[in-house]
Amino acid sequence: MTFNGRDLISIRDFSKEEIYHILDIAQGMVPIAKGEKRSDILKDHILATFFFEPSTRTRLSFESAMHRLCGNVINISGVEGTSLVKGESLADTIRMADAYSDVIVLRHPHEGAGRLAALHADKPVINGGDGAGQHPTQTLLDLFTIREAFGKVEGMNVALVGDLKFGRTVHSLSYALALLGANIHLVAPPILQMPKESMDHLAGLGHKPMASERLEDVIPKVDVVYMTRIQKERFDDPTMYARIAKLFTMNNEMLKNAKDDMIILHPLPRVDEIHPEVDQTPHAWYFKQAFYGVPVRMAILALLLGVVK
């Protein structure tokens, strides 16, 4: 098992053992991510964050991760990124990142961009989200958070809630949860069910998720509720949208029958799908989850750069 020089494009590129190893390394990074301990293991290194669409949390948590380990960052984002997408080929742009840095995080609107970039770079490429494709570091921080809460992922009951059709996050996460032996509950309205491709990946791992259309029925049974946003644009009929969005909104009323130690996760940013009143309950783990993006990305950077084994 070696990570030195590898790319991180899809969570499916990694074995169960490799995933656990990343989580273990991330565990050790937590005090450094909090600024309680100091490390300069990446002081000789430059991270290129090339963001061709906005993703503030992903970008800033990678940059924070790099700085916590005394590394440096060069960045393209915003308008500059957008105009690059229109101009030269992605291959040439990535060769530039390759020449000026030691490791590259790419966020791109087109599915498959991560894999393409990895082909043209000698340095490790980390997929920071490519359109409807993959976002593996999000999945790793989701798994890390579940393990922090319960000490394990295996055997945990995890509800994936909301838009399971278009929500990239849940496609990668469901695969990883199945690989690590969690039990998956799919909770979505009929028109936003998990697509066949993702269901096939689960079947390939011998996993058959439970399914429900009512969040209230599922909450009492599970350890983790993973919320995602249902976007208005998916519906032709705005009253239909309003009715359904309400059913998939988390609030304190919904939580009445939850287990005491049940945790709510969300990739953030949220809009209306979790009421702010929930933030005050012990179930609200989504801000902790956002923080865990830092130690998990520290672990990934250190492993791919070969400074940690």
Nearest distance from residue 203's CB to its own copies, in Å?
36
Complex with its own copies: residue 83 or 257, whichever CB lies closer:
83
Q: Residues 259-278 vs its own copies: string with x where CB under 8 A? A: ---------xxxx----x--
Q: Is 151 in the site for its own copies (CB under 8 A)?
A: no
Q: Which of 4, 24, 91, 220 binds its own copies (CB under 8 A)?
A: 91
Q: Which stretch binds its own copies (CB under 8 A): 63-71, 128-136, 155-163, 251-259?
A: 63-71
Nearest distance from residue 241's CB to its own copies, in Å?
18
Complex with its own copies: residue 115 or 270, whichever CB lies closer:
270
- Site residues for its own copies, 3-42, by CB under 8 A, read 35, 38
Q: Which of 11, 19, 21, 45 binds its own copies (CB under 8 A)?
A: 45
Q: Is 191 in the site for its own copies (CB under 8 A)?
A: no
Q: Is 221 in the site for its own copies (CB under 8 A)?
A: no
Distance of alpha carbon 215 from alpha carbon 252, whole angstroms: 13
Which residue ranges make up the site for its own copies (CB under 8 A)?
A: 35, 38, 43-46, 48, 54, 56-57, 60-61, 63-64, 67-68, 70, 72, 74, 76-80, 83-84, 87-89, 91-93, 95-96, 99-102, 268-271, 276, 287, 290-291, 293-294
